[in-house]
């Protein structure tokens, strides 16, 4: 007889919800949460299902769980051992798209709250912030929920993101921050001409080469604690007409920067601009994702302690991986940490999670909610 979390995970996986579809997941969640005292506020934007579920607490403070019901496409279904939306449980393993990323974690949070409510445990205010737009461009998802809550003054005091943070065992890793992403399109301008008459032209490649060398050599300084250094990679370069005797009039380059919170977008932009200051350059900056980091302190200690109590594991506070919706909550000044299942099969064919993991994650979430306090 599967436990509550597994039952919920099965029902969520069976609702096909490839981005940006919600597939009825959130109506199903509401049917579970309403009897526990949650009220749903829809913040739907541009066809995206965004919801805030709130249960007023007996204790001060608000803790939120943020997550997404959308999943990435399955790829060729015939490559799957078990149909990706069948949610088959075989030998203690739950198979299906979203098992790890992240319907499993959503199910565990709901099961944890249900268990605490059944025991009449006094609780803080609990929110679930759920979107169906995380795996795509994340333009109309969590960021809209955060904007809504800022306007209403209903932001939580801290948030757990249900992204699959763990490596080998549930609880072995939490993510307390992520690097930011900046992409730059650079066009270095010159003047096209005949290669035999260089006095009448201005070679854009000759101007680009030293500028790009300066960019590649920028010293970004000390990384913030727990983060790798800022990485600046020139990933594409093109120039010239293809003819051997034409001096190029412009040269294009693409630069991808992964920065740690020791740097800021404004600082990085100024340093790139300075490296190009001796040539006529058009720079187009795209701040794709803001870096964030939750400092050591009460909230991370609470999570570490809960993991320790539930599993005996000393958790690692990591900052690896790409980016996550945690950045939108962190930008609003909320301490965030990502804690979910293991991530061995995310976005893969045959995504799966052990049923035992869901029970463990439910126990950890339950302990976190039960011990949560508001601290300055
Ligand atoms: Zn995810």
- In a shared domain, residues 165 and 242: no
User: Does 12 share its domain with 108?
Assistant: yes
328 shares a domain with 302? yes
| Sign of the Cα pseudo-torsion (103, 108, 111, 116, in order) | negative
> Looking at 289, 306, 331, which one is the last position of a domain?
289
Helix, strand and coil content of the chain, in percent to the nearest 5, comes to: 30, 25, 45
Active-site pick, 70, 135, 157, 357 = 70
Q: Please tell me whether residues 270 and 219 are part of one structural domain.
A: yes
CB 153 within 8 A of CB 306: no
- Examine the fold and report which residue of 241, 265, 289 is the final residue of a domain before the chain moves on: 289
Order of strands, edge to edge, in the sheet holding 89-90? 89-90, 93-95, 352-354
The Cα 123–Cα 58 span in angstroms is 5
274 and 300 together in one domain: no
Catalytic residue among 21, 134, 140, 367: 134
CA of 15 to the centre of ligand 1 (A): 16
Distance (angstroms) between ligand 1 centre and the Cα of 135 equals 7
3-state DSSP of 54-67: EECCCCCCEEEEEE
Of 289, 318, 347, which residue sits at a domain end? 289
Active site residue 30: no
Where b means 16+ CB within 10 Å and e means fewer, 19-56 reads bbbbbbbbebbbebbeeeebebeebebeebbbbbbbbe
Ligand 1: distance of its center to the CA of 124 in Å?
Answer: 26
Instruction: Report d(CA 214, CA 212) in Å as an integer.
Output: 5
**Does any domain span residue 376?**
no
359/57 Cα distance (integer angstroms): 24
Ligand 1 centre distance from Cα of residue 12 (Å): 14
Strand partners, 293: 177
Does the annotation count 172 as an active-site position?
no
CA of 225 to the centre of ligand 1 (A): 25
- Output the tens digit of pLDDT for each of the chain's 376 residues: 469 999 999 999 999 999 999 999 999 999 999 999 999 999 999 999 999 999 999 999 999 999 999 999 999 999 999 999 999 999 999 999 999 999 999 999 999 999 999 999 999 999 999 999 999 888 899 999 999 999 999 999 999 999 999 999 999 999 999 999 999 999 999 999 999 999 999 999 999 999 999 999 999 999 988 888 999 999 999 999 999 999 999 999 999 999 999 999 999 999 999 999 999 999 999 999 999 999 999 999 999 999 999 999 999 999 987 778 999 999 999 999 999 999 999 999 999 999 999 999 999 999 999 999 988 6
Q: Which structural domain range is residue 340 located in?
A: 4-178+292-371
Same domain? For 263 and 344 the reply is no
Gap between the terminal Cα atoms of the chain = 43
């Amino acid at each position: 007889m599967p436990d509550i979390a597994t039952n919920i995970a099965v029902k969520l996986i069976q609702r096909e919800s490839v981005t940006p579809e919600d597939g009825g997941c959130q109506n199903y969640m509401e049917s579970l949460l309403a009897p526990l005292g949650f009220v749903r506020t829809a913040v739907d934007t541009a066809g995206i299902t965004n919801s805030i579920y709130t249960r007023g607490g007996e204790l001060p403070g608000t803790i939120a769980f943020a997550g997404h019901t959308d999943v990435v496409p399955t790829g060729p279904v015939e490559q799957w051992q078990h149909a990706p939306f069948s949610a088959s449980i075989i030998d203690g393993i739950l198979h299906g798209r979203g098992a790890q990323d992240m319907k499993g974690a959503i199910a565990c949070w709901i099961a944890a709250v249900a268990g605490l409510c059944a025991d009449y445990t006094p609780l803080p205010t609990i929110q679930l912030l759920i979107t169906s737009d995380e795996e795509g461009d994340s333009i109309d998802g969590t960021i809209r929920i955060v904007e809504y809550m800022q306007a209403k003054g209903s932001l939580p005091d801290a948030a757990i993101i249900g992204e699959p943070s763990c490596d080998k065992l549930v609880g072995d890793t939490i993510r307390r921050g992520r690097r930011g992403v900046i992409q730059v399109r650079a066009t270095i301008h010159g003047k096209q001409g005949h290669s035999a008459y260089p006095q009448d032209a201005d070679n854009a490649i000759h101007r680009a080469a030293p500028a790009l060398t300066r960019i590649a050599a920028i010293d970004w300084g000390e990384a913030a604690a727990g983060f790798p250094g800022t990485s600046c990679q020139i990933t594409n370069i093109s120039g010239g007409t293809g003819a051997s005797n034409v001096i190029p009039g412009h040269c294009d380059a693409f630069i991808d920067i992964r920065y740690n919170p020791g740097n800021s977008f404004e600082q990085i932009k100024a340093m790139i601009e300075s490296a190009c200051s001796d040539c006529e350059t058009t720079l187009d900056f795209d701040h794709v994702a803001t870096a964030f980091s939750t400092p050591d302190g009460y909230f991370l200690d609470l999570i570490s302690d809960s993991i320790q109590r539930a599993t005996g594991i000393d958790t690692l506070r990591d900052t690896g991986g790409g980016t996550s919706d945690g950045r939108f909550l962190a930008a609003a000044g909320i301490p965030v940490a990502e804690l979910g299942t293991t991530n061995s099969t995310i976005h893969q064919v045959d995504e799966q999670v052990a049923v035992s993991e869901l029970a463990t994650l439910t126990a950890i979430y339950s302990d976190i909610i039960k011990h949560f306090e508001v601290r300055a």
